[in-house]
Amino acid sequence: MVLTIRAVYHEGQLQLLDPVDLPEGQQVKISIETMTEEEAVRAALGDSVRWHDPNINIHPEIEAEAQAIEDAFKGARPLSEIIIEERGTQL
């Protein structure tokens, strides 16, 4: 069985960002593929966002909306940190 699970490396440990359905004690083999910040955002938001393709000529209203979303995320804490913090308080 192959599962693709997002994780973040934090204080020397990999912390999972996605739930896993494995039996207790199950051994696994891990391959690590790093992601760019853009890839991580796309993976986290998935199909809930219309992604802009710079090769397509789009309407100015859509471009303005995309820029507003990008501006809203600038300077914000990474989503992975927020998830780790929330999961830490739930344990």
Q: Each residue of 1-54: pLDDT tens digit?
A: 788 888 888 889 989 888 888 999 999 998 888 888 888 887 778 767 766 666
CA 79, CA 82: separation in Å to the nearest integer? 5
Assess if residue 76 is contained within a domain: yes
70-77's contacts with Cβ under 8 Å and 24+ in sequence apart are 73/41
Does residue 50 or residue 86 have the better pLDDT?
Answer: 86
Assess if residue 2 is contained within a domain: no
Give me the domain span that covers residue 16. Answer: 7-90
CA 16, CA 13: separation in Å to the nearest integer? 10
Q: Read off the pTM.
A: 0.43
Number of domains comprising the chain: 1
Assess if residue 1 is contained within a domain: no
Helix (H) or strand (E) holding 26: none
**Residue 59, pLDDT above cutoff 80:** no
